[in-house]
Chains A and B, each alone.
Chain A
């Protein structure tokens, strides 16, 4: 890097020139916010509070969307009513120490608003577990190393589901404590429902096949980039 470039990058809060490997599509939420700010008249820009993200009503001047680096968990034969089990992992180590995390929102996306005839009215259950110290004393099964964060039922009508994980994400800033989450989506069968035959289960899980991916939107406030209160003339 030339000296000028490294100084310019430093003024932009970057230590090196980023080199993306497999750029992902730009999340529409970021594109919308970017376009809205770009079209603000300069007088409004001056008045707008650059240290607050009004779209989420939280302090912040950096918004990142982290791609999920987790993987699907396959347990051979489908378990009782389970349609999907996936490990989620978001690497928050890119956050600078001086940045204050003010919001973290998990988005679970499906490829379309799904009104599958086969699953019309079908209710699913979603569980999110936080995993922690997996095998301190050689525990082989990681079942014991998880804590239920969210449990809710839903009828798969919407394109995405949003969950506020601000508290959990703050803990992930310490990389050793960031062991990700486990997402489970199962057919809501209630306690007394007998496990459907495998074929039937697979047809009930069809609409969950429209599951696309998960991402984590994180808002942070970097004090360096806050406007020094400058006395107006």
Chain B
């Protein structure tokens, strides 16, 4: 028989705020813009049963079921980014040229199990 421990919603798998400040890493003299950006990260539980808003794969559903039956043997599925968006960075290169560069998958918009 599966034992079922209710999970408070706040620790379900979802994006958590994380602001990256370029001046904190001492990059403010070559990065023109932005000065920083919200990168976020994923954190939280993927409990059995997985609800729809947890963006889970079929395998994750399977794994939570097995975890509920054998918590010691099989861990919960991971909470990972499932939708990311890009950012552009404007900076000076070593030759004082101005560069606008596009970087994919730099912001976590959605997490899933």
**Residues of A at under 8 Å CB distance from B?**
5, 8, 12-13, 16-24, 26-27, 30-31, 33-34, 37-38, 42, 45-46, 48, 50-51, 61-67, 91, 94, 225-227, 233
Other-chain residue from A31, A46, A94 in contact with B93 (beta carbon distance below 8 A): A94
Interface residue B17 (Cβ < 8 Å from any Cβ of A): no
**Residues of B at under 8 Å CB distance from A?**
25, 27, 29-30, 32-34, 55, 57, 82-86, 88-105, 107, 109, 112
* Bound: A51/B105 CA distance, A: 13
Asked if A46 meets B83 with Cβ closer than 8 Å, knowing A17-B27, A38-B34, the reply is yes
A-B contact count (CB 8 A): 100
Chain A residue with minimal CB distance to B89? A12
| Residues in chain B near residue A42, CB distance under 8 A | 85, 107, 109
| Residues in chain A near residue B109, CB distance under 8 A | 42, 46
Other-chain residue from B30, B99, B104 in contact with A19 (beta carbon distance below 8 A): B30
* Bound: A5/B22 CA distance, A: 11
Give, as a whole number of angstroms, the nearest-CB distance from A8 to chain B. 8
Give, as a whole number of angstroms, the nearest-CB distance from B27 to chain A. 7
Asked if A65 meets B89 with Cβ closer than 8 Å, knowing A17-B27, A26-B32, A50-B104, the reply is no
* Bound: A100/B29 CA distance, A: 28
Give, as a whole number of angstroms, the nearest-CB distance from B39 to chain A. 11
* Pair B97/A233 contact, Cβ less than 8 Å: no
* Pair B90/A30 contact, Cβ less than 8 Å: yes
* Pair A62/B96 contact, Cβ less than 8 Å: no
Other-chain residue from A27, A38, A50 in contact with B98 (beta carbon distance below 8 A): A27
| Residues in chain A near residue B102, CB distance under 8 A | 37, 50-51, 61-62, 225
Give, as a whole number of angstroms, the nearest-CB distance from A140 to chain B. 31
| Residues in chain B near residue A51, CB distance under 8 A | 102
* Pair B85/A30 contact, Cβ less than 8 Å: no
